[in-house]
Amino acid sequence: MAGEDAVLDMLEAEAVHILREVAGAFRRPVLLYSIGKDSSVLLHLALKAFAPGRMPFPVVHVDTGWKFREMIAFRDATAERLGLDLRVHTSPEEATPFTHGAHEYTRIKKTLTLRKALDDGGFEAAIGGARRDEERSRAKERIFSLREPGHRWEPRSQRPEFWWQANTELAEGQTMRVFPLSNWTELDVWRYIRREDIPVVPLYFSAPRPVVERNGSLIMVDDDRYPLEPGERPVERPVRFRTLGCYPLTSAVESKAENIDEIIDEMGRDRRSERAGRLIDGEGGTSMESKKSEGYF
């Protein structure tokens, strides 16, 4: 389509502008890398924004210990390939999605670990790959989103965003989360990955994978820690993932899309919300809101 490249150019320019603003305005920024497609795009943009110089901030990954094995392999290969200053943070606390419930598990392994990583690094600004079209409550999210001391997200103290001017000043204890992909849609992300030939985790593409069905969700059994019901056995089905997270909490979709063109085609036909596959979002309508106010990304 005629406008596609022009739209991607605008989105790229906007994201690059935001990334440069972060690098110029904050003393210690950091890029939060979750290994998913949005993170891959974000990383690609951050490298482009400062070429031929180097990306002037490190990369942090919060590893819950329950990511898909292919994600971890991809992460390490990516860090190697691009020569990233990658810092992996893991919580020493014992928690699993099965023993603690999805919400408490996420709070311990993800939210608290992220907060500690940011505090320990003294990072004033954390760049993330969240998009406004992911979920209704994100439609109102700022590009420069303020966090109060303790990483608390206060909806009422968010700053108005006039023009392309960001107020990057911070009072004592405040930090900033920055979302350069705010105005991107899921389709934009895939089109950009295709155009720029950005590597992504193979889990996004359909392949026969061992899955079990739980409450209507297809869960891939990625290792032998997954507690199977008596008599339950994983079945190989052609599936892929629209978003990636902790494997016991990420639902697969049945699909034959084996490459980016087929994914983009499929998106034109299958019109379900992207985060429908994230079990953690489902706990009550306000789930994302409440996680955010605790400091979740």
Residue 164 tokens read as 């392309």
Minimum distance of another protein from residue 142's CB (angstroms)? 9
- Give the Cα separation of 160 and 45 in Å (integer): 25
- Interaction between residue 148 and another protein (CB under 8 A): no
The β-bridge partners of 62 are: 89
- Interaction between residue 73 and another protein (CB under 8 A): no
Nearest CA to 79 out of 41, 35, 121, 109 is that of 35
Beta strand 125-127 with 59-62 is unpaired
- Give the Cα separation of 154 and 270 in Å (integer): 36
Minimum distance of another protein from residue 70's CB (angstroms)? 27
Nearest CA to 67 out of 98, 38, 36 is that of 36
- Give the Cα separation of 71 and 55 in Å (integer): 23
The span of 40-48, 201-209, 226-234, 238-246 binding another protein (CB under 8 A) equals 40-48
The rounded Cα 146 to chain-centroid distance in angstroms is: 18
The span of 76-84, 106-114, 169-177, 214-222 binding another protein (CB under 8 A) equals 169-177
Nearer to another protein, 109 or 242 (CB): 242
Minimum distance of another protein from residue 236's CB (angstroms)? 27
Subset of 94-133 contacting another protein (CB under 8 A): 132-133
- Interaction between residue 199 and another protein (CB under 8 A): no
Nearer to another protein, 139 or 228 (CB): 139
- Interaction between residue 49 and another protein (CB under 8 A): yes
- Interaction between residue 217 and another protein (CB under 8 A): no
- Interaction between residue 13 and another protein (CB under 8 A): yes
Residue 64 tokens read as 């819950």
Neighbour tally for 65: CB within 10 Å:
13
Subset of 220-279 contacting another protein (CB under 8 A): 270-273, 276
- Interface residue with another protein among 96, 183, 205, 253 (CB under 8 A) is 183
**DSSP H helices in the chain:** 2-25, 37-49, 69-82, 97-106, 113-121, 186-196, 260-269, 287-294
* Residues in contact with 20: Cβ distance below 8 Å, sequence separation at least 6, in sequence order: 49, 50
62, 117 in Cβ contact below 8 A? yes
- Interface residue with another protein among 83, 92, 163, 230 (CB under 8 A) is 163
Nearer to another protein, 117 or 143 (CB): 143
- Interaction between residue 81 and another protein (CB under 8 A): no
Residues at the site binding another protein, with contacts judged by CB under 8 A: 1-4, 6-7, 9-10, 12-13, 16-17, 20-21, 23-25, 45, 47-54, 132-133, 136-137, 139-140, 155-165, 167-171, 174, 182-183, 185, 187, 270-273, 276, 285-286, 289
